[in-house]
Amino acid sequence: MAEEQWTARLVLEDGHVFEGQSFGSAGESYGEIVFNTGMTGYQEILTDPSYYGQIVTMTYPLIGNYGLNVDDVESRGPHVRGFVVREFSEVPSHFRSMDNLSGYLKKNGIIGISGVDTRKITKLIRTEGTMRAVLTTLDTPKEELLRRLSEPLQKDQIDQVTTQSTYRCPGGDRRIVAMDFGMKSGVVRSLLARDCDVIVVPARTTAEEILSWNPHGVMLSNGPGDPQDAQYAIETVSKLMGKVPIFGICLGHQLIALASGAQTKKMRFGHRGVNHPVKDLRTGKIAITSQNHGYMVDPDSLGDTDLALSHVNQNDGTVEGLVHRYLPVFCVQYHPEARPGPDDSDYLFDDFMKMVDDYRQGRWIPYAEKS
């Protein structure tokens, strides 16, 4: 049966208005508009907590055709503020499918819009940069929508998506504390697949509390928002550095950089997709990576730090990975857990395990001594 549909409008901060059909929920929703270039993976994208507060536009023109299932979620539910597609498929066809896109969004109170020119929206974001936007099925006048769009964005995104309490995912012999800044479940899955006993702690857990678990390693997760808004986390990371091996991904990478004295800055439109080529400068190998970020580490700020550049984006030369010269700390800007995306970078979890084991057995060698 056809889902209920309303006319929906997408209004961008710069005044552009796109009219289409709504699917999913009705109402009005504000956020930062971004685009993702993945051809598939919409379920993982919807449920990646790093998208909290954002309206996501998919550049691939047909979304929803393989439906949704309970296995491919990256957290408890969707976190996007809105979903923009050229065409959505109302009748999915896949043996694992249990729901359709519009039903899923509706159940979760998320507004979708289809029938809009996603290519034009993407080009606007590429030239003008990430903007604020509103998706609405209401009659609110455009001037009023634009006025509301000029209100400041919320700054406590991590608090909205981190776990409320500590929990444990029992596994093997390596005890890893994972700081949850809005962690994708693929991160925990990657650790559990490698004989780890994972203790997931809320973002505001102190370094002392973390160390009281006597972890063999600490994982710093991905997460939403501007890393500079999470001063408490930067402080925690700086206290942990040198006490325990640390691996950071995405927001975790940015926090390590900030804790080491480097700077981060907002990108014009970020990297969101599943085919970003990244070179590991230590091996010369290029991996195709899964990415979702709007901030980056400023390469010019690395000079006065103890961090060495380990990975570089082959499209635009941006910083994709760092390694500490003297401490057991390394990080990447992208998603080695690859949900969605290719698992070329799975080896980074193996590198983390090696670092954890070597450190535990007193045979870990600092990067500065290796290079």
Ligand X SMILES: NC(=O)CC[C@H](N)C(=O)O
- Active-site residue list: 250, 335, 337
Q: With contact defined as beta carbons under 8 Å apart, do 36 and 63 qualify? A: no
d(Cα 88, Cα 118) in Å, to the nearest integer?
Answer: 12
Nearer to ligand X, 8 or 234 (CB): 234
- Which helix (H) or strand (E) segment is 240 a member of? helix 231-240
CB of residue 332 to ligand X, shortest distance in Å? 11
Contact region with ligand X (CB under 6 A), list: 75-83, 106-114, 132-140, 223-231: 223-231
Cα separation, 87 vs 228, in Å, equals 37
Q: Which is nearer to ligand X, 44 or 197 (CB)?
A: 44
341 binds ligand X (CB under 6 A): no
Q: Which of 53, 215, 225, 245 binds ligand X (CB under 6 A)?
A: 225
**Residues 22, 36, 50, 290: which binds ligand X (CB under 6 A)?**
50
CB of 297 to ligand X, least distance (A): 10
The alpha carbon dihedral of 41, 47, 50, 53 has a sign of: positive
Residues 242-281 close enough to bind ligand X by CB under 6 A: 250-251
User: Quick one: CA dihedral 38, 130, 295, 164, positive or negative?
Assistant: negative
Could you say which of 122, 185, 190, 222 contacts ligand X (CB under 6 A)? 222
**What is the spatial distance between Cα 252 and Cα 237, in angstroms, rounded to a whole number?**
9
Residue 5 is assigned to a ligand binding site: no
Q: Which of 30, 247, 295, 330 binds ligand X (CB under 6 A)?
A: 295
Amino acid at 244: V
Percentage helix, strand, coil for the chain under 3-state DSSP, each rounded to 5: 25, 30, 40
- Cα separation of 351 and 237, whole Å? 20
Stretch that binds ligand X, among 2-10, 56-64, 293-301, 355-363 (CB under 6 A): 293-301
How many residues touch ligand X (CB under 6 A)? 11
Binding site residues, ligand X, CB under 6 A: 50, 222-225, 250-251, 292-295
